[in-house]
Amino acid sequence: MTDAERQGEGQTAGRTAYVAELQCFLCGSLAGSIETDRKPLPPNGVWHPVGGGRPQRVPDWRALRCPRCGGALYAENVEAVVRYDEADELRREAPRRGRPPKWLVEERRRQRDAAESRL
């Protein structure tokens, strides 16, 4: 990763993504969801299988099939969601060993104070 990329990361406040449920034409079961960055839905996107499987980038979600009966899928309920950079999430949810780092303790205290002052 270059320095420029590293700096760019800190500036992203989140991006809009569109998530659609993919349902089976034949049996009607929910197979998972597809996430894209555009609307109307392009064929390519990130496939999230139902049941907590690993998200996967696919070139064309229409080629996916129902895991239950092999039927074709259709997209429904397209919803706009705000996503934060994955790198950002990883940083926030990095596994903590032993005591949390000082900056995290500080951040939590700030968040707690902010929450309490709103009461």
Q: Does residue number 63 form part of the binding site for Zn ion (CB under 5 A)?
A: no
Q: Closer to Zn ion by CB, 17 or 58: give it.
A: 58
Whole-number Cα distances in Å, 71 to 2, 46, 68, 119: 44, 20, 8, 51
Selected range binding Zn ion among 19-27, 42-50, 73-81, 96-104, rule: CB under 5 A: 19-27
Rounded (to 5) percent helix, strand, coil in the chain: 30, 30, 40
Of the candidate residues 19, 34, 66, 73, the single one contacting Zn ion (CB under 5 A): 66
Q: Does residue number 34 form part of the binding site for Zn ion (CB under 5 A)?
A: no
